[in-house]
Chain A
Amino acid sequence: MKFLCVGCDEPMTLAQAPDPPSQGSLSAIFRCARCGQRVALLTNPWETQLVCSLGVAIGGPKPTRKPLALVRATLAEAGLLWTEEAEQRLAHVPEPVRPMARAAIERYARGQGYGEVDCAVMDEAKARMHG
Chain B
Amino acid sequence: MKSYREIAGDGGSDVLGQVAERSARLRARMAPVATTLAVMSGKGGVGKSVVSANLAAALATRARRVGVLDADLNGPCLARMLGVEGRRLKLGDDGIVPAEGPLGVKVVSMDLLLPESGSALAWRAPAAQNQFAWRGMLEATALAEFAGDTAWGELDFLLIDLPPGAERFADLHDLLPACDKALVVTTPSGLAIASVRRSVILARKLDARLLGAVENMAGLFAADGPAQALGVPLLGSIPFDPRIAQCADRGLPFVSAHPDAPAARAFAALADEIERRCTAEAAR
The 6 closest A-B CB pairs, nearest first, are A14-B12, A24-B126, A49-B127, A67-B149, A76-B122, A45-B127
Residues of A whose CB lies within 8 Å of any CB of B are: 1-4, 6, 9, 11-14, 17, 21, 24-25, 30, 45-46, 48-50, 52-60, 62, 67-72, 74-79, 81-84, 87, 116, 118
Interface residues of B (CB under 8 A from A): 1-2, 4, 7-13, 15, 18-19, 22, 88-92, 95-97, 113-116, 119, 121-127, 129-130, 133-134, 137-138, 141-142, 144-146, 149-150
Closest to A25 in B: B126
Q: Which residues of B contact A72 (CB under 8 A)?
A: 113
Closest to B151 in A: A67
Do B11 and A68 touch (CB < 8 A)?
no
A-B contact pairs, 19 of them (CB 8 A): A9-B2, A11-B9, A24-B127, A49-B125, A50-B134, A52-B126, A53-B141, A68-B146, A68-B149, A69-B145, A70-B141, A71-B145, A75-B122, A77-B119, A77-B122, A79-B113, A82-B88, A83-B92, A116-B91
Query: Per a CB cutoff under 8 Å, which of B97, B133, B144, B146 touches A84?
Result: B97
Residue of A whose beta carbon sits closest to that of B116 = A79
Q: CB-CB < 8 A to A79: which residues of B? A: 88, 113-116
Given contacts A46-B130, A75-B113, contact A81 B11 (CB under 8 A): no
| A78 x B114 contact (CB < 8 A) | yes
Q: Shortest Cβ distance from A125 into chain B, in angstroms?
A: 17
B70 to chain A, nearest CB (A): 13
